[in-house]
Structure formats: structure tokens, C-alpha cells
């Protein structure tokens, strides 16, 4: 099986040049000008198009039991949605209940993806309990190729860990050389603020943000960095929403703490007014940490352009408006948290980042693909256009105009947080290890093409 992508403008995290790319089997085998087409090769004319490495979303939830319900997508629907959007690899958070066995949870989560996922996939292992015997189980999971952990410093009484557990998790991570991704919020403050708001009759979705103010998140980041400093572990603050939180990370980095910062596409494109929409519609925009002000959004774009924020993920956590978000009518603390966006991340980042000149094309590729590959042990198999890299390629039409709608999206949710939004740019052709999986905005692949990406510790 060979594929020749001819005459595209190849854009990576650092390069920008015109070339042909030859893929044989699952791999890129040649890059050059006027490459000969092998017999029977599929030839794709990429003239006038960009050719970029397959995008990587390092923070998604697909199988997610959460707040008494389950997220709506499975690996088939989420994988199709990812691919038509240009994302060829997903990293999912394994989120076991505190009483679940970690190895069994790993098998359960992985089993949901195996033979169903059309895109490649791997996991961050959620540590939701660290008791006697836990270390050996996590060692085994890391040895099996899951070279990153996830901890929650939030969701008191559910997924959150104690400080003792956090310390032991980071200690083990430092020993094993795995990076720890962390949801950073001070869970005690969240619980207290929620109770005060509810007691004052402030029960609507617009009170979600005031229950988790920016300082609560910055405090979580600060807390994480203290533990990282004392253990020497590498850490990654997920879904960072504001200046104070980013600055807490940067201050720690200045003292030598190995910390990286992720933001997610909802924070770059939405603001607090969405959760204030009347008739409970604000619930569509409830995620944690909350969507912030326009000023915070502008700061995040600057931090992204500067590289202080390394990656743009989604935190895809899809819950229906009808039946699921509605569980929190009359009590915002019961609204399932999350905004579906695995399908729209790349085009929203292009439309709101590259088109208005907030970020360069190279930084776009870096933030949406290469940085995640480097941080999570996938580079240069993923996140690169090099001879020997996986043939995960996106042929991007920079001029295409489209409209986002729940009517047409492939995600399973009954709403889009971006309904009616105009977007520029589209993935015209998407390949996963040499196989064409999307064409002209349509999924043309098969379920189960995706493969588990075993990773080695790199920190």
C-alpha cells in the first residue's frame, strides 16, 4: 500500500517547505521534490494545501462514568469525530473509582478502545487511590506502555486524591520517569464555596464559575508544584484556564520545577457569558475549571504564542443537554462537567489562532501535535513529518469555510457548544498510518484501525 502526497506546503513545528511525501505501508519513506510514484500508489494532489503531522489530543474522556452518568461517545464515534477534524491520536484519561483495582481499570478502559477505535490511542493512568500494594500495580501498568499518570486535586470524595496519595504518586513517577498530569483546583475551597452559593439560593449554571474562582485553580497549580519540587517528578497541569494558574506554573518553572501547561480549546474560544445564558442553556458550558473572562482568554492566547502554554487539548467530555446536563437544574453542582470538542479543536484553533495571526502556523502544529508527542513519549513516531515517522498526515485546505452544528457533527451529543459558528480551514485528507481515513470532511475509514500506542518513560 503506497500513498504519494504531491506538492503540498509541509508545515511542522519548526519547518515550512514544499515537497512530495511518499508513504509505504504505515510509514513515511521519502520526502523530496518530484518523487516518482510507485506502481499502484494512490496519488493525492496537495497543491495549494498544507500538509501537517496528524494532530494529537492529549486530554480526552471517552469512557467516562462521572457524576452518576456516562459520557456519550464511544471509541467509534469519538474516533470518527477526531479523525474528520484532523486528530489521528487520542490520549484518554483512565478514571477509576477509588475502590476499583488499577490494573482492572486499565484493562477495562483499554478494552473499550481495542478493535473499535479508528484512530491510534493511548492513556494516562488515573491514580484515584494510592494504598499498600498500589505501587506494584502502577509499575506493571507503566511496564505495559502507559507512561503517564493522571491525578485529580479536585472532585472531593470522588476522583480526588489526598496529599499523602499525591506525594506517593509523584515519588513513584519520579522513580519510574513518567510524567504526572494533574487537574489542579483546591478541592476544599470548591466544596465550601459551592455550599455557600447553594445556601444563598444561587443554584443556576452561572454560579459554577464563582464556585471555582481563578485563585482556587492557581492554588491547585501551586500545590502541585510544591509536591513536584519535593519529589523531582515531572508534572503537567491540564486544562489551565487563566493567568494566575499559568503564572503559578511559570514561577515554579523558574525555580527548576519540571512543569508544563496545557490549555483546552473551550478556554481559548468561549467566555463566562456562555454559562450565563438563560433558560439553563448555560449548563452546556459548565466544565471544570470554568470558562473565564475575555481578558483571561486573551492572556491564554499570548501565553500560547510565547510557548508558556505548551499544548492545546480539548478535555472532550461529552454529556447531552437533554437528560444529562439537566440533572443539575436547580443545583449547578450536579451538572455533569464537560464540553464536547474533539471534532472541532483543530479548526477552532486554526480559525481563532492562525487566521487572525495570534499564533504562527508552526506554533499551531506544535501546540496541537508535536508538543504532546514529545511530552508523552510518542515523538518522532507521532507529531513529526520525517522519514520513519508514522504516516499520520493531514492535508489541510486553508481556505475552506464551514459552519459547526450538532446537526452535522459526528460526536454523539445532542448539542454543540459552538452551534452556528463559522470556521475556516478543514482537513481534506487524513491518514492514520498510511491509510486514508477521511476525505472532504467525510469519514472513509473503518472502525478498529486504531492501535494502542505503547510508550516508554521519557522523564
The site for ligand URP, by CB under 6 A, has a size of 9
Among residues 9, 61, 433, 451, the one that binds ligand URP under rule CB under 6 A: 61
Place of cell 480526588: 160
Residue 316: CB minimum distance to ligand URP, A: 9
Among residues 337, 370, 389, 431, the one that binds ligand URP under rule CB under 6 A: 337
Q: Among residues 334 and 449, whose Cβ is nearest to Zn ion?
A: 449
* Alpha-carbon span 224 to 52, nearest angstrom: 34
Q: Choose among ligand URP, Zn ion, none what residue 337 binds, the Cβ cut-off being 5 to 8 Å by kind.
A: ligand URP
**433 lines the binding site for Zn ion (CB under 5 A):** no
Residue 117: CB minimum distance to ligand URP, A: 19
Among residues 400, 449, 452, 457, the one that binds Zn ion under rule CB under 5 A: 449
Residue 80: CB minimum distance to ligand URP, A: 21
Q: Among residues 141 and 335, whose Cβ is nearest to ligand URP?
A: 335
Residue 322: CB minimum distance to Zn ion, A: 23
Give the residue closest to ligand URP by C-beta. Answer: 337
Site string for ligand URP, 195-234 (x = CB under 6 A): ----------------------------------------
How buried is 21 (Cβ within 10 angstroms: 0-12 exposed, 13-18 middle, 19+ buried)? buried
Q: Choose among ligand URP, Zn ion, none what residue 366 binds, the Cβ cut-off being 5 to 8 Å by kind.
A: none
**338 lines the binding site for ligand URP (CB under 6 A):** yes
Site string for ligand URP, 295-334 (x = CB under 6 A): --------------------x-x-----------------
Which three-class secondary structure string do you get for the chain?
Answer: CEEEEEEEEEECCCCEEEEEEEEECCEEEEEECCCCCCCCCEEEECCCCEEEECEEEEEECCCCEECCEECCCCHHHHHHHHHHCCEEEEEEEECCCCCCCHHHHHHHHHHHHCCCCCCEEEEEEECCCCCCCHHHHHHHHHHCCCCEEEEECCCCCCCCCCHHHHHHHHHHHHHHCCEEEEECCCHHHHHHHHHHHHHCCCCCHHHHHHHCCHHHHHHHHHHHHHHHHHHCCCEEECCCCCHHHHHHHHHHHHCCCCEEEEEEHHHHHCCHHHHHCCCCHHHHHCCCCCCCCHHHHHHHHHHHHHCCCCEEECCECCCCCCCCHHHHCCCHHHCCCCECCCCCHHHHHHHHHHCCCCCCHHHHHHHHHHHHHHHCCCCCCCCCCCCCCECCEEEEEEEEEEECCCCCCCCCCCCCCCCCCEEEEEEEEEEECCEEEEECCEECCCCCCCCECCCCCCC
Segment interacting with Zn ion, rule: CB under 5 A, options 78-86, 259-267, 300-308, 312-320? 312-320
Residue 63: CB minimum distance to ligand URP, A: 12
Q: Among residues 160 and 445, whose Cβ is nearest to ligand URP?
A: 160
Q: Choose among Zn ion, ligand URP, none what residue 287 binds, the Cβ cut-off being 5 to 8 Å by kind.
A: ligand URP
Site string for ligand URP, 171-190 (x = CB under 6 A): ------------x-------
Q: Choose among Zn ion, ligand URP, none what residue 347 binds, the Cβ cut-off being 5 to 8 Å by kind.
A: none
* Alpha-carbon span 370 to 343, nearest angstrom: 18
**315 lines the binding site for Zn ion (CB under 5 A):** yes
**245 lines the binding site for ligand URP (CB under 6 A):** no
Is residue 280 within 8 Å of residue 204, measured between CB atoms? Answer: yes
Q: Choose among ligand URP, Zn ion, none what residue 400 binds, the Cβ cut-off being 5 to 8 Å by kind.
A: none
* Alpha-carbon span 150 to 163, nearest angstrom: 14
Q: Choose among ligand URP, Zn ion, none what residue 242 binds, the Cβ cut-off being 5 to 8 Å by kind.
A: none
The CA distances from residue 447 to 77, 84, 94, 122, in Å, are: 9, 13, 21, 16
* Alpha-carbon span 432 to 83, nearest angstrom: 9
Q: Among residues 213 and 338, whose Cβ is nearest to ligand URP?
A: 338
Q: Which of residues 167-226 bind Zn ion (CB under 5 A)?
A: 183
Q: Choose among ligand URP, Zn ion, none what residue 434 binds, the Cβ cut-off being 5 to 8 Å by kind.
A: none
Task: Quote the distance between the C-alpha of residue 294 and its chain's center.
Answer: 22
Residue 339: CB minimum distance to ligand URP, A: 7
Residues 6 or more apart whose CB falls under 8 angstroms from that of 278 comprise none
Q: Choose among ligand URP, Zn ion, none what residue 449 binds, the Cβ cut-off being 5 to 8 Å by kind.
A: Zn ion
**316 lines the binding site for Zn ion (CB under 5 A):** no
Per CB under 5 A, residues contacting Zn ion are 183, 315, 449
Per CB under 6 A, residues contacting ligand URP are 61, 183, 239, 287-288, 315, 317, 337-338
Amino acid at each position: 500500500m503506497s500513498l504519494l502526497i504531491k506538492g503540498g506546503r509541509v508545515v511542522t513545528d519548526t519547518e515550512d517547505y514544499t515537497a512530495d511525501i511518499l508513504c509505504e505501508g504505515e510509514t513515511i519513506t521519502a520526502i523530496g521534490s518530484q518523487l516518482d510514484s510507485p506502481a499502484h500508489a494512490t496519488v493525492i494532489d496537495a497543491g495549494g494545501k498544507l500538509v501537517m503531522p496528524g494532530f494529537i489530543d492529549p486530554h480526552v474522556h471517552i469512557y467516562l462514568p462521572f457524576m452518576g452518568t456516562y459520557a456519550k461517545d464511544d471509541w467509534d464515534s469519538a474516533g470518527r469525530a477526531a479523525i474528520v477534524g484532523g486528530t489521528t491520536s487520542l490520549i484518554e484519561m483512565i478514571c477509576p473509582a477509588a475502590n476499583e483495582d488499577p490494573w482492572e481499570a486499565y484493562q477495562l478502559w483499554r478494552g473499550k478502545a481495542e478493535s473499535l477505535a479508528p484512530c491510534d490511542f493511548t492513556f494516562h493512568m488515573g491514580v484515584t487511590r494510592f494504598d499498600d500494594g498500589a505501587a506494584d500495580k502502577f509499575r506493571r501498568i507503566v511496564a505495559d506502555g502507559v507512561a503517564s499518570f493522571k491525578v485529580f486535586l479536585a472532585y472531593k470524595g470522588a476522583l480526588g486524591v489526598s496529599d499523602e496519595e499525591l506525594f506517593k504518586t509523584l515519588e513513584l513517577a519520579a522513580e519510574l520517569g513518567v510524567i504526572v498530569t494533574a487537574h489542579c483546583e483546591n478541592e476544599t475551597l470548591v466544596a465550601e464555596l459551592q455550599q455557600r452559593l447553594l445556601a444563598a439560593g444561587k443554584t443556576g449554571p452561572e454560579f459554577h464559575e464563582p464556585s471555582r474562582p481563578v485563585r482556587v485553580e492557581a492554588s491547585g497549580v501551586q500545590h502541585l508544584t510544591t509536591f513536584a519540587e519535593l519529589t523531582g517528578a515531572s508534572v503537567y497541569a491540564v486544562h489551565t484556564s487563566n493567568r494566575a494558574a499559568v503564572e503559578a506554573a511559570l514561577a515554579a518553572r523558574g525555580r527548576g520545577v519540571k512543569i508544563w501547561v496545557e490549555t483546552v480549546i473551550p478556554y481559548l474560544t468561549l467566555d463566562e457569558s456562555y454559562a450565563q445564558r438563560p433558560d439553563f442553556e448555560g449548563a452546556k458550558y459548565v466544565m471544570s475549571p470554568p470558562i473565564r473572562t475575555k481578558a483571561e482568554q486573551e492572556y491564554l492566547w499570548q501565553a500560547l504564542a510565547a510557548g508558556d502554554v505548551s499544548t492545546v487539548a480539548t478535555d472532550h467530555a461529552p454529556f447531552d443537554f437533554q437528560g444529562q446536563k439537566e440533572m443539575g437544574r436547580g443545583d449547578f453542582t450536579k451538572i455533569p462537567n464537560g464540553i464536547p470538542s474533539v471534532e472541532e479543536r483543530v479548526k477552532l484553533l486554526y480559525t481563532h489562532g492562525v487566521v487572525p495571526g495570534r499564533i504562527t502556523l508552526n506554533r499551531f502544529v506544535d501546540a496541537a501535535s508535536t508538543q504532546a508527542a514529545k511530552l508523552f513519549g510518542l515523538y518522532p513516531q507521532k507529531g513529526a513529518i520525517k522519514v520513519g515517522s508514522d504516516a499520520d498526515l493531514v492535508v489541510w485546505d486553508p481556505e475552506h469555510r464551514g459552519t459547526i452544528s450538532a446537526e452535522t457533527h459526528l460526536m454523539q451529543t445532542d448539542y454543540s457548544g459552538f452551534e452556528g459558528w463559522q470556521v475556516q480551514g478543514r482537513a481534506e485528507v487524513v491518514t492514520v498510518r498510511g491509510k486514508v481515513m477521511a476525505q472532504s470532511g467525510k469519514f472513509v475509514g473503518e472502525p478498529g484501525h486504531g492501535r494502542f500506542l505503547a510508550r516508554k518513560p521519557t522523564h
